[in-house]
Amino acid sequence: MNKLVSLTRNFSSSSSLNAIKTVTVIGGGLMGSGIAQVAAQAGQNVTIVDLKPELLENAQKSIQNNLRRVGKKTFKDDAAKIENFVKESTSRINTSTKVEDGVNADLIIEAIVEKLDVKQELFNKLDQLAPEHTILATNTSSISINAIGAGIKRKDRYGGLHFFNPVPVMRLLEVIKGDQISEATYQTLMEWGKSIGKTCITCKDTPGFVVNRLLGPYSAEAIRLYERGDASKEDIDIGMKLGAGYPMGPFELADYTGLDTNKFVMQVMYEQTKDPVFRPVPLLDKMVAEGKLGIKTGEGFYKYKKSNL
């Protein structure tokens, strides 16, 4: 199915939703706002919760911009339809700085900072406050979902939903099975993924799940290749784009996702597996220490003009 048809179907199939009608996303950063956007454009009512009001404001702005991009793709030059799509989708999104305002939802997805103790505390609170039927999910990219949910009672109604950046564009959703997830919860999460236009794959709670388990060593090897002076970063990027069909080379991708994220994912996987493929990469550590985190800071492996940020 081409992208256009899939986006249109995504928007027009909003009425066929069954189980999950209301979604709360905790965390208004890049991933959280992307998740909120795809749920809202699929017809679901969404609440975004973030402690920082300025992040909620940014999230609303970026969602509007990205909805317009999706609208243009879906409705071509029909300005009225595009505006209607943006207006209807944004009208389904509420924001709050209080977790309590988001607990009455069918599905609550956490997309906050990647810190185990902070996530655990949030899930324990959500477990106490949310109604019985609410499913809790984490968008962690690399922390064990069993560890995050260790303190909750509703382990049968808990799982991982790992999205990819940029969420509105990337078609994959990894549905992660915790040790005690029920079949009904798993099926509901798979159905929900479909309802927001994603193709779902399933993985056990294993370090990096499927995609980051493979992307991690790939990215690390690319940096090591460059660090040794075997090839330039530009040539390595061209190599993987033209020789392997990747949309971005490994250095472009690292700048795009953020070098700090890259380092963190690798670090967590090294701690969990002790596999030397995830061992620290000195150049990556140095760049992160220097604050060269990629597009978001204006410099990573490449430099970025303000207009591209």
Active site residues: 141, 162, 174, 212
CB of 194 to ligand 3HC, least distance (A): 19
Cα distance between residue 225 and residue 236, in whole Å = 9
Cα distance between residue 69 and residue 180, in whole Å = 39
CB of 69 to ligand 3HC, least distance (A): 4
Q: Which of 22, 60, 120, 165 binds ligand 3HC (CB under 6 A)?
A: 165
Q: Which is nearer to ligand 3HC, 146 or 261 (CB)?
A: 261
Per-position x/- string for 36-65, each x denoting binding to ligand 3HC as judged by CB under 6 A, each - no binding: ------------------------------
Q: Which of 10, 44, 47, 141 binds ligand 3HC (CB under 6 A)?
A: 141
Distances from the Cα of 290 to the Cα of 146, 152, 293, angstroms: 34, 39, 8
Q: Which of 73, 81, 125, 224 binds ligand 3HC (CB under 6 A)?
A: 73
Q: Are 157 and 136 in contact (CB under 8 A)?
A: yes
Q: Which is nearer to ligand 3HC, 175 or 253 (CB)?
A: 253
Q: Which stretch binds ligand 3HC (CB under 6 A): 82-90, 150-158, 166-174, 221-229?
A: 166-174
Q: Which stretch binds ligand 3HC (CB under 6 A): 99-107, 109-117, 162-170, 282-290?
A: 162-170
Residue type, 62: S
Please tell me whether the peptide bond between 166 and the residue prior to it is cis, using omega within 30 degrees of 0: yes
Q: Strand pairing of 158-162 and 172-177?
A: antiparallel
By CB under 6 A, the count of residues binding ligand 3HC is: 18
Q: Which residues bind ligand 3HC (CB under 6 A)?
A: 66, 69-70, 73, 141, 164-166, 168-170, 212, 215, 247-248, 253, 257, 261
